[in-house]
Amino acid sequence: MGYQRTTMISLQRMLGLLMLILLHGAADEACLPDINHLTLEPPVAVVRHGDPLEVNCSTLFNTHLGMHWVSTEGNTSLEKNSQFVTWNMTVVDWGTQARCNIKLNGSLLCSQDLTLTVYKIPDSVSISVLRHSGPMVEGTEYQLQCDIQNIAPLQNLVVKWYKGNEPLDNVTYSIVSKTPVDVSDTLMISPSRHDDGAQYRCRAQLDLGPEGPQPHPTVTSEPLNITVHYAPEFLPGNDTVEVSAGSDVSLDCSAEGNPPPELRWTNNTAEGNANETTVGRLRTLNISRVTANATYNCTVTNRLGSITKHQNLSTLLYTC
């Protein structure tokens, strides 16, 4: 009798273990990811912080023990006689998570997580020059800084730099941050004289994927206008002028620079009959009744440098 009772207990334990194995296997089979027990619409949600969000969860199962939403912002009631349940919430929690559950029988519970992104456009985007004010000097390096205030999420931010309409750089971030942060990005520039008067801008763009708003939410800084100072440079012109003896001649000297350079003729007393006139960037030396060869010097100066140009006056003498 003792042997038979022991055998019966062993059989019962084996049957119980077999049932647990079967139930466990059935649960695994029922909730495999390739079996569509629950469908979310939309399956991926992107919502602006503080805006309402509505997501539907549906099933093809006609009979079940109930389905409902479970979230960090509150659960919905258990729906037993329906094939869908709606989660409707105003999203104010940056870490909001939501999951739709369905109970197929007494032991099988399947679920589908909602992929949710909560975003916030920045309060402001501004651009400045670090540790410098006033005009820039050609060939000197400067650091521009773009300050972005209160933006989320950081991993979706793209900072874009522009000179005029020309794109200069794109910066992305690998750090994951769901809550709003302040971001500062920098760009090194070495302006040339051709950049005088250029406008630089930076733009904060949230690339939230195809599920997010289109076009991507974007805030652009006010333009930063730069002034570039550079040493003077002569504009193209002839270095030698030929003139017939006794004729009048004008020698031109023109240059550009920033600040605007001063132009000055020297050695212009050889003839004793020379005078200067200035129109814009052009300074002209007018000589009357030329009688001999001469060299005249035009010197151009601003605070960044000084250059001199020699103009040779060649007198043509005619004999009968």
Mean pLDDT of 22-31: 41
Mean pLDDT of 230-258: 87
Q: What confidence tier does 319 reach under pLDDT thresholds 50, 70, 90?
A: very low
Four-residue CA torsion sign, 199, 202, 207, 212: negative
Q: What percent of the chain has pLDDT over 90?
A: 57
Q: How far apart are CA 11 and CA 1, in angstroms?
A: 15
pLDDT higher than 80, residue 253:
yes
Take residue 84 and report the two structure tokens written for it.
Answer: 């869908």
Q: pLDDT for 192-209, tens place per residue?
A: 999 999 999 999 999 999
Q: Are 125 and 146 in contact (CB under 8 A)?
A: yes
Mean pLDDT of 138-167: 97
pLDDT higher than 80, residue 31:
no
Mean pLDDT of 32-41: 78
Q: What percent of the chain has pLDDT over 70?
A: 86
Q: How far apart are CA 241 and CA 285, in angstroms?
A: 12
Take residue 186 and report the two structure tokens written for it.
Answer: 């920098």
Q: What confidence tier does 30 reach under pLDDT thresholds 50, 70, 90?
A: low
> Which pTM does this prediction carry?
0.77
Mean pLDDT of 47-69: 92
Dihedral angle computed from the Cα positions of residues 39, 40, 44 and 46, in that order, rounded to the nearest 10 degrees? 170
Pairing assessment for the beta strands 282-287 and 249-258 based on DSSP bridges: antiparallel
Which amino acid is located at 249 in the chain? Answer: V
pLDDT higher than 90, residue 177:
yes
- Other residues' Cβ atoms within 10 Å of the Cβ of residue 133: 6
* pLDDT for position 244: 83
Mean pLDDT of 253-273: 80
